Structure 1
Amino acid sequence: MNEQRRQRRPGRARTGQRRRHLQLLARPWVLPVMALTVVIVSGAIGYRITEGWDWGDCLWMVLITISTIGYGEVEPLSQAGRLVTVLIIAGGLLVVQLTIQRVLGLSQSGYFRQLRELRFRRMLRRMHDHVILCGYGRIGKEIGEQLLLENVQVLVVELDPKRHKAAQERGLQVLQADATLDETLLEAGLDRCRSLVAALPSNAANLYVILSARGLRKNCRLIARADSDEAASKLELAGASVVVSPYVAGGRVMAATALRPIAVDFMDLLAGTACEIEEFRLSQDPLLISHLSHRSLEELALDRRSGAMLLAIRDNSTLTANPSGDMTLAPGQMLVVMGSQDQLTAFKMLLGDALDTVETMGGSSPWTESTWR
Structure 2
Amino acid sequence: MQKDNLKNIILGLFALLGVVIIGITGFHLLEGYSFTDALFMTIITISTVGFREVYPLSPEGKIFTIILIIFSFGIFAYVVTTFTRMLVDGVFRHYYKDNKMKRRVAKLSNHIILCGYGRNGRQVAVDLSDHGEEFVIIEQDEELIETIRENPDLMYIHGDATLEEVLRMARVDRARALITTLPNDADNLFVVLTARQINPTMTIISRASHDNSDMKLKRAGATNVIMPDKIGGQRMAKLVTQPDVIEFIEYIILQKSKDVTLKEVSCTEMHSDYEGKSIGELNVRNYSGANIVGMKKTDKSYVFNPPPTQVLSSHDQLFVLGTPEQIRSLKDILKNPRRNSPVTGQETGT
Q: TM-score, normalization: structure 1? A: 0.56
Return the offset for 1:311: 0.6
Q: In structure 2, how many angstroms separate the alpha carbons of the residues matched to 1:112 and 1:166?
A: 15
State yes or no: 1:144 paired with 2:125. Answer: yes
Worse overlay, 201-210 or 267-276: 267-276
Work out whether residues 295 and 302 of structure 2, in 8 Å CA contact, stay in contact via their aligned partners in 1: yes
Give, in angstroms, the shift of residue 246 of structure 1: 0.5
- If asked which structure has higher relative contact order (CA below 8 Å, sep 6+), I would say 1
Matched-pair contact (CA < 8 Å) for 2:105–2:155? no
**Which residue of the partner structure matches residue 180 of structure 1?**
162
User: Deviation of residue 299 (structure 1)?
Assistant: 1.0
Q: Which residue of 1 aligns with 2:327?
A: 344
**Equivalents in 2 of 1:194, 1:302: separation in Å?**
30
1:273 aligns to 2:257 (yes or no): yes
Q: Tell me how far apart the structure 2 counterparts of residues 350 and 238 of structure 1 sit (CA, whole Å).
A: 41
Tell me what 2:115 maps to.
134
Deviation at 1:111, TM superposition (A): 5.5
Aligned residue in 2 for 1:206 = 188
Report Cα offsets for 1:211-230 as digits up to 9, x if no partner: 22222223322111012343
Q: 1:351 to 1:147 in 2, by over 3 A?
A: same
More moved, 203-212 vs 184-193:
184-193
Change (3 A) 1:111 1:322: closer
CA deviation after TM superposition for structure 1 residue 110, in Å: 6.3
Q: What letter matches 2:257 in structure 1?
A: T
The residue aligned with 1:335 is 318
Q: What's 1:325 paired with?
A: 308
Structure 2 residue aligned with 1:255: 237
Please say if 1:123 is aligned against 2:107.
no
Q: How do residues 59-208 of structure 1 correspond to structure 2 at under 5 angstroms? A: 113-128=94-109, 130-169=111-150, 172-208=154-190
Between the aligned partners of 2:171 and 2:238, the Cα distance in structure 1 is 37
Give unmatched runs, 5+ long, in structure 2: 1-79, 337-350
Farther off after superposition, 136-145 or 166-175? 166-175
Partner of 1:12 in structure 2? none
| Alpha-carbon distance change, 112 to 313 in structure 1, aligned in 2, over 3 angstroms | closer
Aligned-partner Cα distance in 2 for 1:329–1:260: 33
Distance of 1:229 and 1:290 partners within structure 2: 46
For the residues of structure 1 that align with 2:317 and 2:131, how far apart are their CA atoms?
24
Quick one: structure 1 residues 256 and 331, their matched pair in 2 at CA, closer, same or farther if it must change by over 3 Å? farther
Give me the identity figure in percent: 28
Distance 1:261 1:129 in 2: 38
Instruction: Look up the SS of the partner of 1:179 in the other structure.
Output: coil
Q: Render the CA deviation track for 1:130-176: whole Å, top value 9, x for unaligned.
A: 43210122322332343344454442211122332343346643321
Q: How far apart are the structure 2 equivalents of 1:158 and 1:187?
A: 13
Shift of 1:335: 1.8
Deviation at 1:291?
4.0
What residue in structure 2 maps to residue 303 of structure 1?
285
Q: What SS does the aligned partner of 1:228 have?
A: coil
Equivalent position SS for 2:137: strand
Partner secondary structure for residue 249 of structure 1: helix
**Secondary structure of 2:310's partner?**
coil
Alpha-carbon displacement from aligned partner over 1:35-63 (angstroms, at most 9, x marks no partner): xxxxxxxxxxxxxxxxxxxxxxxxxxxxx
Going from structure 1 to structure 2, the CA distance change for 1:304 and 1:214 (only over 3 Å counts) comes to farther
Q: Deviations over 1:186-225 (max 9, x none)?
A: 2223345453210011112111212222222233221110
SS at match of 2:212: helix
Equivalent residue of 1:336, what SS? strand
1:307-340 per-residue CA deviation (whole Å, 9 max, x = no partner) reads: 3210112344653322221222357543211233
C-alpha separation between the residues in 2 aligned to 1:129 and 1:236? Answer: 22
Q: Does 1:244 align with 2:229?
A: no
Alpha carbons of structure 1 residues 329 and 149: separation in structure 2 relative to 1, 3 Å = closer
Structure 2: how far apart are the matches of 1:162 and 1:110?
Answer: 13
Quote the Cα distance in structure 2 between the aligned partners of 1:213 and 1:291. Answer: 40
What SS does the aligned partner of 1:262 have?
A: helix
Q: Kindly provide the amino acid, as one letter, of the partner of residue 208 in structure 1.
A: F
Name the aligned partner's letter for residue 272 of structure 1. K
1:254 partner SS:
helix
Could you tell me which runs of 5 or more consecutive residues in structure 1 were left unpaired when the two chains were aligned: 1-100, 354-373
Secondary structure of the 1:305 match is helix
